[in-house]
Amino acid sequence: MSGPRILIVGGVAAGMSAALRAKRHNPDADVVVFERGEIISYGACGLPYVLGGEVRAWDDLLARTPPQVRAEGVSVRLRHTVTDVDADAGRITVRDADGGSRTEPYDSLLLATGVAALRPPWMADGLGGLHVLRDVPDGRAIDASLRGARRVAIVGAGYIGLELAEAFRRRDLSVVMVEMAPRVAGRMLDAAMCGVVQAELERNGVDVRTGVAVEGVTQRDGSVTGLRTEAGDVRADAVVVAVGVRPETALARAAGAGLGDTGAVAVDDHQRTSADGVWAAGDNCEVRHRVTGRPAHVPLGLAANRMGRVAGVSMAGGDARFPGIVGTGIFKTFSLGVGRTGLTQTEAEQHGLDAVTADVTAGDHAGYYPDTKPLEIRLTGERGTRRLLGAQIAALNHESAKRIDVVAALLHAGATVDDLADADLAYAPPFAGVFDALLVAAGRLQRALD
Amino acid sequence: MSGPRILIVGGVAAGMSAALRAKRHNPDADVVVFERGEIISYGACGLPYVLGGEVRAWDDLLARTPPQVRAEGVSVRLRHTVTDVDADAGRITVRDADGGSRTEPYDSLLLATGVAALRPPWMADGLGGLHVLRDVPDGRAIDASLRGARRVAIVGAGYIGLELAEAFRRRDLSVVMVEMAPRVAGRMLDAAMCGVVQAELERNGVDVRTGVAVEGVTQRDGSVTGLRTEAGDVRADAVVVAVGVRPETALARAAGAGLGDTGAVAVDDHQRTSADGVWAAGDNCEVRHRVTGRPAHVPLGLAANRMGRVAGVSMAGGDARFPGIVGTGIFKTFSLGVGRTGLTQTEAEQHGLDAVTADVTAGDHAGYYPDTKPLEIRLTGERGTRRLLGAQIAALNHESAKRIDVVAALLHAGATVDDLADADLAYAPPFAGVFDALLVAAGRLQRALD
């Protein structure tokens, strides 16, 4: 093998995408993946669905096994932790499963180290029944804690907390959700949309406590027995903390690669860091937000996989570019689907944009069609330029929230509110009203922008 | 009332939209709607769903009643048939319910006459159990024929035929579908997609006979007893003929308004015909197809309503323009949803475009998520320019076919295949795979275009 030596740290989304793309692009390359854990290439977004029982087994989340990856010519070293990078010398230090340490030279290095769950200061290690959810071992540990439990507390009302609330109710557990902010889903949505989410949680028996800061846990015999909050104690047999994530940047810093203002690794559109020969891809990286034109840290699965592909091709000598994101996200909690893309009104104002928002409630199918459910749409545009800035959709037929993609695609293309209002969207009674709810929202926003 | 006198022929989709818009734009206008039938403003697209029982009553399809419309200041004359137009004199001849005829002067006239069902030469009037489906009286007549029936024949496998097949099976009737063309849905889809539709029909017990021309009916005692075809007789207690529509252009021709090559009324983007003071809107009109840049006749609900709005505002002195269409259509038959937009490969070739198509089968949700069903996507682009030309989607979770809107919106904006491939579409396991099936299709088409 006379090709370049490409080392990859991290074998989940971005890392594995990069490895396979690099090998396909340059079959002579020596591609080695170092994964700290025991499994590679799994769908981390599916963890709540195994806990809720919709997905039968943890192994169902595996996209590829090490033998499958090796069959494509990529070397995989499990339980190998990369502890240091010497970018000047072009080598990394690796500790293997037995604790032995050695160095490995590289021509190109990819840091696909992802994110770690944020742990509040009061979160003690080693306490039974106290969890975060980032990987399969976390999921297995939560699952074990839930056996015999009656009541679970979820700290944090973001994507993971909201998905877990449904999962735990499916297991017939009582669920208390404690959120420090005044509203659930408040980091993803404008305040006007958050009430729909809270109503869906409460309709499904979740005890939602917003505006409540957690101060610590109560415990007995090495296991958590609940939360201490500023509003009193909350008894719980298990606690899952889902208050956000932070990029894993220790190796990037060791390599001398610059971080951006967001705290994530700064990369160009080929996924190159500022350190020679060092690349980064995935949730540990910043991405360019096409609506603001500025770097952002939005750790989500599609961008991570796409960055991995770009890095893999680029490291193998090809030319691929990451196209940026427009801030699309979607989640389901109980029957409710919620999607967002671009900027919320609040975010647009934070970026100094002259934003105008229209709110519409409309049926997701023809009014007379059975099972037509309301869609709440919030559409935001820019005064003057009339360009689309963003949208938020909440849908009681959860699938209907996927209509956010129409706005996401138009944002990517830099379209105006008028482009959306005039679009020839599909109509038949089982799919939409004659004027799709998005068209109704766009029409209303047009008038607000006139 | 000193405003202009605006007369409107036809009170369903385009006509009623125009009337209300005109009145709102110029409250002084004298707006009168002449409707030949007994009801106005109903959802014609819902007719199959009343026949299938999903919608309880014919009246559920009514969007507005005459009193509601009158309350907005629009006059409505039911059972009034406009029989002639004198565009030079600016007046129409109207026959009222009692058979009396008189003339009415106008400042502006809108022809919103829609389409008529095509009737094959062998289709005798007055024969019991032999039907077309265009309006509520047709629907009621079919409903009456079905009571006591065991087996129904549907002639034609277009939108209406496919929707009726499901409706009749819901009523536990045997259904024979006879189509002259070699494939079902062959006018909407490329041949490669039609097999999915036929399989869904057959999986649900529909006896599909393609490539069979109907030569006539068999009858007894004034009622139909079946079809005579070149492949033998087909016994049936009722027959619905759904072989297409033709624009109702008699009044346009009387007015001296020009027709286009499609046979429908030619209009500009304000919905003006070539005859002074005469406008046209709805299914009787041509529309500009934004992908081909040429006039087309695509009689569907959204465009009809939108043309009505444009005509109403324009006739009342405002400035509105019809944005054109991109040829979006969607239907459901049984569990299958099928959407199309832009041009099929076949249509693109007919227009002399250098078109390339990619086919993809992918899950509509994450592979491990329950009830994930395959999506068949066929995406077409233009060599050289790389612009998107069209898409076709067939989805066994019917709602997933609504993803056609992403391509429809991008076509409207003149986007490329690369724009779609790079789009930041929403991902979470209950909604899509990490790379939405549309992104997978776009990636494959990119490579085919390289």
Alpha carbon distance A362, A438 (integer Å): 9
Which among A290, A305, A409 has the least Cβ separation from residue B409?
A409
Burial A184-200 (b: 16+ CB within 10 A, else e): bbbbbbbebbbebbbeb
Q: Indicate which residue of B45, B55, B78, B231 is catalytic.
A: B45
pLDDT at B41 over 90: no
Domain with CATH 3.50.50.60 in chain A: 5-115+247-315, 119-243, 329-449
Segment (H or E) for B196: helix B191-203
Chain A residues with CB inside 8 Å of B392's CB?
none
* Tokens 């790379």 found at: B435
Q: What is the pLDDT of residue A216?
A: 96
pLDDT at B402: 97
**Annotated active-site positions of A, please?**
45
Residues of chain A contacting B434 with CB distance shorter than 8 Å: 13, 43, 45, 301-302, 305
Whole-angstrom distance, CA of residue A424 vs CA of residue B298: 12
Whether the Cβ atoms of residue B19 and residue B48 lie closer than 8 Å to each other: no
3-state secondary structure chain A: CCCCEEEEECCCHHHHHHHHHHHHHCCCCEEEEEECCCCCCECHHHHHHHHCCCCCCHHHHECCCHHHHHHCCCEEEECCEEEEEECCCCEEEEECCCCCEEEEECCEEEECCCEEECCCCCCCCCCECEECCCCHHHHHHHHHHHCCCCEEEEECCCHHHHHHHHHHHHCCCEEEEEECCCCCCCCCCCHHHHHHHHHHHHHCCEEEEECCCEEEEEEECCEEEEEEECCEEEECCEEEECCCEEECCHHHHHHCCCECCCCCECCCCCCECCCCCEEECCCCECEEECCCCCEECCCCHHHHHHHHHHHHHHHCCCCCCCCCECCCEEEEECCEEEEEEECCHHHHHHCCCCEEEEEEEEECCCCCCCCCCEEEEEEEEECCCCEEEEEEEEECCHHHHHHHHHHHHHHHCCCEHHHHHHCCCCCCCCCCCCCCHHHHHHHHHHHHHC
Contact A432 B402 (CB under 8 A): yes
How far is A73 from B49, CA to CA, in rounded Å?
55
Q: Is B13 helix (H, G, I), strand (E, B) or coil?
A: helix
Residues of chain A in contact with residue B341, where contact means CB-CB under 8 angstroms, are 424, 426
Q: Which of B324, B429, B432 sits opposite A402 (nearest CB)?
A: B432
Chain A residue nearest residue B56, CA to CA = A368
Q: Which residue has the tokens 């937000």?
A: A289
What ipTM was assigned to the predicted interfaces of this complex? 0.97
User: pLDDT tens across A335-390, in order?
Assistant: 999 999 999 999 999 999 999 999 999 999 999 999 899 999 999 999 999 999 99
**CB-based contact B427 A337, cutoff 8 Å:** no
Facing residue for A54 by CB, picked from B369, B424, B427: B369
Residue of A nearest to B409 (CA): A423
Residues B105, B277: contact at Cβ < 8 Å?
Answer: no
Instruction: Give the whole-angstrom CA distance, residue A286 versus residue A269.
Output: 10
- Which ranges of chain A have pLDDT less than 50? none
CB atoms within 10 A of CB B433: 22
CB < 8 Å to B43, chain A: 366, 368, 429, 434
User: Which fold, B329-449?
Assistant: FAD/NAD(P)-binding domain (3.50.50)
Residues of A in Cβ contact (< 8 Å) with B404 = 426
Task: For domain A119-243, give the CATH number.
Answer: 3.50.50.60
Q: What is the pLDDT of residue B126?
A: 86
Find residue B130's DSSP bridge partners. B239
Number of other residues whose CB lies within 10 A of the CB of residue A141:
17
CA atoms within 13 A on the CB side of B178: 24
pLDDT tens-digit map of B156-175 = 999 999 999 999 999 999 99
Point out the residue among B43, B405, B432 whose CB comes nearest to the CB of A426. Answer: B405
Which residue from A141, A309, A307 is spatially nearest to A238, judged by alpha carbons? A141
B1 pLDDT tier (thresholds 50, 70, 90): low
A136 vs A37, A63, A361, B253, B404, CA distance in Å? Answer: 10, 13, 39, 72, 35
Contact B92, B80 (CB under 8 A): no
- Please write the tens of the pLDDT for every residue from B369-392: 998 999 999 999 999 999 999 999
Q: For domain B5-115+247-315, give the fold.
A: FAD/NAD(P)-binding domain (3.50.50)
- Label residue B178 left, alpha or beta by phi (over 0 means left) and psi (-120 to 50 means alpha): beta
Q: Which of B399, B351, B345, B347 is nearest to B375 (CA)?
A: B399
Query: What does residue B246 show for φ and ψ, rounded to 5 degrees?
Result: -130, 145
Can you tell me the distance from the alpha carbon of B121 to that of B228, in angstroms, rounded to the nearest whole number? 13
Q: A325 has which bridge partners?
A: A289
Which 3 state secondary structure label does DSSP give B296? strand
For B118, phi and psi rounded to 5 degrees? -65, 135
Comparing CA positions, the residue from A282, A317, A410 lying closest to residue B424 is: A410
Nearest beta carbon to residue A405 from set B331, B399, B425:
B425
A138 in Cβ contact with A146 (< 8 Å): no
Give strand pairing partners of A30.
Answer: A5
pLDDT at position A371: 87
Q: What are phi and psi of A196, to 5 degrees?
A: -65, -40
CA distance B322 to chain A (A): 8
Residues in chain A: 450
Rounded Cα distance between B237 and A314, Å, is 67
Whether residue B431 and residue A305 make contact (CB cut-off 8 A), yes or no, is: no
The predicted pLDDT at position A409 comes to: 98
Is the CB of A402 less than 8 angstroms away from the CB of B43? no
- Flag if A368 and B429 touch (Cβ within 8 Å): no
CA distances from B367 to A62, B431, B435 (A): 10, 11, 11
Distance CA A414, CA B409 (A): 12
Cα separation, B309 vs B274, in Å, equals: 19
The distance of Cα B15 from the centroid of its chain, to the nearest Å, equals 16
Interface test with chain A among B309, B321, B334, B368, by most A beta carbons within 10 Å = B368
Amino acid at B425: L
Cβ pair A368:B55 closer than 8 A:
yes
Is pLDDT of B191 > 90?
Answer: yes
Question: How many angstroms away from the CA of B290 is the closest CA of chain A?
Answer: 10
